[in-house]
């Protein structure tokens, strides 16, 4: 048990944490760590209102869904204890599962939370609309199920009665029995020539959205970054391939603070002219139209720091241009497809390449692979151009690298070190660099050293 010592030497029994209950011990460790951090920050430490025993039941009983949602939404709001880790709890928002499925005055039941924990939200809604529709189990070895467990355990810590020990034990058991965590879904990376054909078609059909997609593809931008271009192609005084992109720091509450900017570089350079990215009048008009249709929203904090509060919503605009199952009529008129090559096992024949429609972020991954295959740029340069660390670049953006990407990258390095150019070097804009120029550059570098 945990005891609170009162003045005068008196104490009171609080919530029990049995030593033979792994989940209870995890809860206790989490509770004490949180209390320690709170005390270091000048807070009261342990919140005893959540621990007082009331006949073996949690402190909060007979709660309504409105009360539970209010409790959770307060914790994931800016400044709340879960503001930086809100993903497992967004299901409590007004437009999400619990907000749509239950009236605020409705008493929360264990079976409703259990159903959400065990089955996919889509199948639950379909079953409510048609009782003959089957409920579909969640994959118990996927990240989404781990977030469900995190959510239920947190509800228990907050004293929510429907997060029963039995439910938590069942979820824990399913996680253990499901085995190794499921690998993330593969990305389907489009080929450079097919991206070009796709952009050509878009340019004929929808010049505005074609320009936006060309910027994303040429510079490997994140979905919201097109709104935050500080300079456009052709405006840099030293290198017309460069653009300046606003750099942001997320605070975990859905808002972001602009901390400066980074420079991105075009690849292939030929797309700058092909899609009029360096036509300043045209490009400025396209950027202004994008911002007019979907304005950037900001707010000023008490310390006068400007917060950008809708980057996520802006990013979804572009994401849904590519794929929008709810409103396919709003998608781009031409679909782009990518490819995934399953790994070949030793002694087995090479698996067949898979083809599927791309998502927006696949264009960013395509830039990383294109840079690996067609340039001799260092990992540091490529990571800086994309706005992340070298470790992230290697771990996340080269996952879909194939043997052909590595082969072409090696040929580029060999050609560079031998003072030659290769057929694919034109993609990096080095077609005009002769062996003599490379030799001269090396001599200059040696003199500087």
Residues in a beta bridge with 356: 338
Q: What is the pLDDT of residue 52?
A: 45
In-domain check, residue 353: no
Q: What is the pLDDT of residue 183?
A: 66
Which residue, 32, 52, 72, sits at the end of a domain? 52
Q: What is the pLDDT of residue 444?
A: 54
In-domain check, residue 422: yes
In-domain check, residue 351: no
Contact 427, 387 (CB under 8 A): no
Q: Do 48 and 64 share a structural domain? A: no
Which residue, 340, 368, 401, sits at the end of a domain? 340
CA 268 from centre of chain: 26
Q: What is the pLDDT of residue 389?
A: 78
Q: Do 138 and 38 share a structural domain? A: no
Q: Do 427 and 301 share a structural domain? A: no
In-domain check, residue 41: yes
Q: Do 330 and 203 share a structural domain? A: yes
pTM (two decimals): 0.58
Which residue, 183, 218, 234, sits at the end of a domain? 183
In-domain check, residue 331: yes
Q: What is the pLDDT of residue 15?
A: 54
Name the nearest CA neighbour of 92 among 120, 67, 118, 73.
Answer: 73
Nearest-angstrom CA–CA distance, 275 and 235: 16
Contact 249, 257 (CB under 8 A): yes
Rg (CA), the chain: 27
Helices (H), 158-221: 165-177, 192-205, 207-219
- Backbone φ, ψ for residue 137 (5° rounding): -70, 145
Name the nearest CA neighbour of 3 among 58, 46, 34, 57.
Answer: 46
Q: Do 106 and 63 share a structural domain? A: yes
Cβ-Cβ contacts under 8 Å for 55 (sequence gap 6 or more): none
Contact 430, 241 (CB under 8 A): no
Which structural domain, as residue segments, surrounds residue 419? Answer: 359-448
Longest dimension (CA), the chain: 89
Q: Do 201 and 320 share a structural domain? A: yes
The secondary structure element, H or E, covering residue 155 is: helix 143-157
Cβ-Cβ contacts under 8 Å for 91 (sequence gap 6 or more): 97, 98, 116, 121, 151
Q: Do 225 and 145 share a structural domain? A: no
Nearest-angstrom CA–CA distance, 105 and 66: 6
Q: Do 336 and 408 share a structural domain? A: no
Cβ-Cβ contacts under 8 Å for 86 (sequence gap 6 or more): 76, 252, 253, 254
In-domain check, residue 349: no
Contact 58, 164 (CB under 8 A): no
Q: What is the pLDDT of residue 373?
A: 87
Q: Do 79 and 20 share a structural domain? A: no
Q: What is the pLDDT of residue 12?
A: 40
pLDDT digits (tens, 9 = 90+) for 262-277: 899 999 999 999 999 9
Q: Do 283 and 307 share a structural domain? A: yes
Number of domains in the chain: 4
Q: Do 134 and 150 share a structural domain? A: yes
In-domain check, residue 400: yes
Name the nearest CA neighbour of 149 among 22, 1, 312.
Answer: 22
112-135 in b/e burial notation, b at 16+ Cβ within 10 A?
bbbbbbbbebebbeebeeeeeeee
Q: What is the pLDDT of residue 87?
A: 87
Q: Do 298 and 217 share a structural domain? A: yes
Query: What is the pLDDT tens value at each position of the chain, 449 positions in all?
Result: 444 444 444 334 445 566 656 666 677 777 777 777 777 777 767 665 555 444 333 444 479 999 999 999 999 887 788 887 888 999 999 888 999 999 999 999 999 999 999 999 889 988 888 889 899 999 888 888 999 999 999 999 999 999 999 999 999 999 888 877 666 788 899 999 999 999 999 999 999 999 999 999 999 999 999 999 999 999 999 999 999 998 776 654 456 656 578 899 999 999 999 999 999 999 999 999 999 999 999 887 777 777 788 888 899 999 999 999 888 999 999 999 999 888 878 888 888 989 999 999 999 999 999 998 888 888 889 989 998 777 776 655 555 455 555 566 566 666 666 666 544 444 444 344 444 555 555 555 555 44
């Amino acid at each position: 048990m945990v005891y609170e010592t009162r003045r005068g030497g008196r104490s009171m029994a609080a919530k029990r944490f049995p030593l033979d209950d792994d989940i209870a011990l995890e809860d206790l460790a989490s509770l004490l760590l949180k209390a320690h951090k709170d005390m270091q920050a000048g807070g009261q430490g342990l919140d005893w209102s959540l621990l007082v025993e009331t006949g073996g039941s949690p402190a909060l009983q007979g709660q309504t869904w409105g009360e539970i949602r209010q409790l959770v939404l307060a914790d994931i709001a800016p400044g709340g204890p879960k503001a930086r880790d809100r993903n497992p709890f967004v299901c409590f928002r007004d437009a999400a599962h619990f907000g749509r499925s239950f009236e605020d005055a409705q008493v929360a039941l264990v079976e409703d939370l259990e159903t959400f924990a065990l089955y996919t939200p889509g199948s639950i809604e379909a079953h409510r609309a048609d009782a003959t529709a089957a409920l579909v189990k969640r994959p118990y070895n996927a990240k989404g199920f781990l977030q469900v467990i995190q959510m239920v355990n947190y509800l228990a810590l907050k004293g929510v009665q429907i997060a029963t020990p039995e439910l938590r034990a069942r979820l824990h058991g399913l996680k253990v029995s499901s085995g190794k965590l499921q690998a993330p879904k593969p990305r389907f990376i489009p080929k450079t020539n097919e991206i070009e054909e796709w952009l050509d078609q878009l340019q004929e059909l929808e010049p505005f959205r074609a320009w936006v997609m060309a910027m994303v593809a040429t510079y490997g931008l994140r979905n919201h970054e097109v709104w935050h271009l500080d300079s456009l192609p052709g405006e840099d005084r030293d290198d017309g391939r460069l653009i300046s992109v606003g750099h942001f720091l997320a605070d975990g509450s859905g808002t972001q603070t602009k901390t400066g900017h980074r420079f991105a570089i075009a690849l292939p350079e030929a797309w700058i002219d092909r899609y009029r990215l360096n036509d300043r009048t045209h490009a400025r008009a396209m950027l202004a139209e994008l911002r007019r249709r979907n304005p950037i929203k900001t707010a000023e904090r008490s310390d006068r720091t400007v917060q950008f509060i809708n980057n996520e919503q802006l990013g979804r605009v572009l994401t849904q241009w590519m794929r929008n199952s709810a409103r396919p009529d709003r998608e781009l008129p031409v679909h782009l497809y990518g490819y995934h090559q399953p790994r070949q096992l030793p002694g087995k024949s090479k698996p067949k390449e898979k083809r599927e429609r791309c998502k927006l972020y696949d264009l960013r991954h395509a830039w990383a692979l294109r840079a690996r295959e067609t340039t001799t740029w260092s990992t540091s340069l490529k990571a800086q151009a994309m706005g992340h660390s070298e470790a992230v670049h290697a771990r996340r953006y080269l996952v879909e690298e194939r043997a052909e990407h590595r082969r072409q990258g090696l040929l580029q390095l060999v050609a560079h070190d031998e003072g030659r150019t290769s057929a694919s070097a034109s993609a990096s804009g080095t077609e005009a660099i002769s062996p003599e120029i490379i030799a001269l550059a090396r001599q200059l570098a040696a003199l500087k050293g």
